[in-house]
Amino acid sequence: MIIVLSLNTAIDRVLQVPLLTPGTVMRATETRSFAGGKGINVARNLLRLGEQVRVVGFLGGSAAAFIKERCAELGLEARWVDIAGETRTCVTVLDAASGGQTVLNEPGPLITPLEIERLLDALQASVSPGDLLCISGTAARGMPDSAYGHIVQRMKGVGVRVLVDAGGPGLLSAIEAGVWAVAPNEDELRSATKADAPVAEMARTVAGEVEIVLVTLGRDGCIAAVDGRLWRARAPQIHELNAVGSGDAFVAGFLSATAQGLEPMEAVRLAVACGASNALRYEPWIGSREEVESLRRQVEIENLALPA
């Protein structure tokens, strides 16, 4: 099974306006609301890929009922840890004139030490040897910088492989703990490593401590460091509508393919296709399996040679 840790669950609201003009009162022409946050986005896409998935995460306040209802509609198994704080709302404003996106993320609730312990207990009770665990996004406020590394160490002790899609101290602590796989974007990787080098060189350096390094590059695909080799996966050319959530779709594709037993670079091929599929629509999820398969066939993969 694939377990997804949702530390910053949210209501994701998408608004479309004819022309975004700061400092004015505007009326949206379209609005959509979803259960979201990076963890939920990953889990939703895993379901669409036909995987068994379970979410463990924090949830609190008036947003909880909406998110529980939406997860139930999806058929998504969730084990929530109730918190005193209010689960956040995140707003994406789509500018129809320019095609640009403005994202406003609330900071999220402050988590107490007792709530953190309850989450760790819930996570421990939710995994079994051989499972895959996904940790996406920043840790909740109140969690220490070392939290991801601590979780990685606990999961390694019970035979669970962990993928971390994050940046900053959270990613760094996971790397230092010997996490199985990481999937940051370029900016997140730089924020963790403080490196000023080409992205391929950064990936190769991190691969000295991590089995699989995936650095997402948006519409340019990704750089992968696997089995001592560097690869470039180029995304299909598409008409992009909304790329928000494409990194989460990428992670879902990689985990799904891994769960099916595919080799890492074939898993990367599906991951890139899922990221592209997500960007084809306003909603934060991938399209049909037929669409994803068509995109998968268009992903180009090449070996990168760097001087030793």
pLDDT tens readout for residues 277-300: 999 998 889 999 999 999 999 999
The DSSP string of 3-54 is: EEEETT-EEEEEEEESS--TTS----SEEEEEEESHHHHHHHHHHHTT--EE
Task: Tell me the CA distances in angstroms from 269 to 41, 61, 159, 215, one per residue in order.
Answer: 19, 39, 26, 13
> What is the span of the domain harbouring residue 202?
2-304
> Which residues is 36 bridged to in the sheet?
10
Task: Tell me the CA distances in angstroms from 80 to 57, 124, 151, 165, 279, one per residue in order.
Answer: 5, 13, 17, 21, 29
pLDDT tens for residues 41-54? 999 999 999 999 99
Task: Tell me the CA distances in angstroms from 63 to 137, 244, 247, one per residue in order.
Answer: 19, 21, 24
Mean pLDDT within 79-84: 97
> What is the C-alpha to C-alpha distance for residues 163 and 180, in angstroms, rounded to an integer?
6
Count of domains in the chain?
1
> Which residues is 133 bridged to in the sheet?
3, 162
pLDDT at 308 over 50: no
Amino acid at 57: G
What is the pLDDT, as a whole number, of residue 99? Answer: 84
Nearest to 75 by CA among 98, 44, 96: 44
Nearest to 147 by CA among 132, 162, 159: 162
What is the pLDDT, as a whole number, of residue 197? Answer: 87
Centroid of chain to Cα 15 = 22
What is the pLDDT, as a whole number, of residue 306? Answer: 54
pLDDT at 259 over 80: yes
CB 251 within 8 A of CB 163: yes
% of the chain exceeding 90 in pLDDT: 88
Mean pLDDT taken over the chain: 94
pLDDT at 247 over 90: yes
- For tokens 């949702």, the residue is 6
pLDDT at 118 over 90: yes
Residue 59 maps to which CATH number? 3.40.1190.20
